[in-house]
Amino acid sequence: MKKIKSILLSSVIALGMFFGGIVKDSKLVQVEAKAKTTYVYTASGNRYYHKYKTCKFIKKSKNKKKVKLKTAKKTKYACNCYKYR
């Protein structure tokens, strides 16, 4: 009985050392997600930014510009087309 226990114990220790070695040697790989830039549409004379250039509030405007959302939020308000679609 003692012999069986010692064999089991030594095999458990060997497995622990084997897997412990794998864990120690492996490196943690950190994957960083790339930030996606969101663009919106603005038009001069309009105080809102829009999700689509076909929004009914800027559809007829000739001077639409595509800008980053981060930039547009500083000076303009969100149109309902941006909030609810």
Q: Are 48 and 59 in contact (CB under 8 A)?
A: no
Q: What is the pLDDT of residues 4-56, one digit of tens each?
A: 555 555 665 555 555 555 444 556 666 667 778 899 999 988 899 999 888 88
pLDDT digits (tens, 9 = 90+) for 70-83: 999 999 999 988 88
Q: Which of 57, 61, 54 is nearest to 77 (CA)?
A: 57
Q: Are 55 and 61 in contact (CB under 8 A)?
A: no
With a threshold of 0.85, does the pTM exceed it? no
